[in-house]
Amino acid sequence: MAATAQRLVPPFTKATAHEKVKVAQALWNTRDPQKVVQAYTPNSVWRNRSHFFVGHTSIRQFLQQKWAREKSYMLRKELFTFQDDKIAVQFWYEYQDSMDAMKWKRCYGIEHWTFDAEGKMENRMMSGNDVLIGQDGNGEGRWFQGLNADEVDGVVIPAGHS
């Protein structure tokens, strides 16, 4: 990303909020819990679907379990809205579920984030829903098929998100 981390601090502008979202997208697409956790405050509070936890250790453990299950993970995030130290995003990601016969799934969701003065996320609330991709999860119709993480922004997300 073009901006330095020092510029991506609250209060956000439209440009810095958008860039913060794309930095997060790139970071999550590494699927490296150790790298991802560095974007959060040591006592960051998370809700991820029905899971609630606090702090780097819990976040790292959650991400390790997440990516052990979600194979071939590819994520796209888009800025939904922002104000001061808050950003809301919509996101889509595709993965093969290792606990469900490697069926392809897509998660649709919304996150809202709150940042500290240094630009670290101190609060992350996520709601998401999974759907099978293709007949019985065969992956037919995947949006990100064959793409690298830096190519997902070029995908046109269909109206109705089918």
The whole-number average pLDDT for the span 60-76 is: 98
CA 121 to chain centre: 13
The Cα–Cα gap between 147 and 105 comes to 16
What confidence score (pLDDT) does residue 160 get?
75
What average pLDDT does range 7-11 have in this prediction? 93
Percent of the chain scoring above 90 in pLDDT:
92
Q: Are the C-beta atoms of 90 and 74 separated by less than 8 Å?
A: no
> Residue 7: which pLDDT band, with cuts at 50, 70 and 90?
confident
pTM beyond 0.75: the answer is: yes
Predicted local confidence at residue 6, as pLDDT: 53
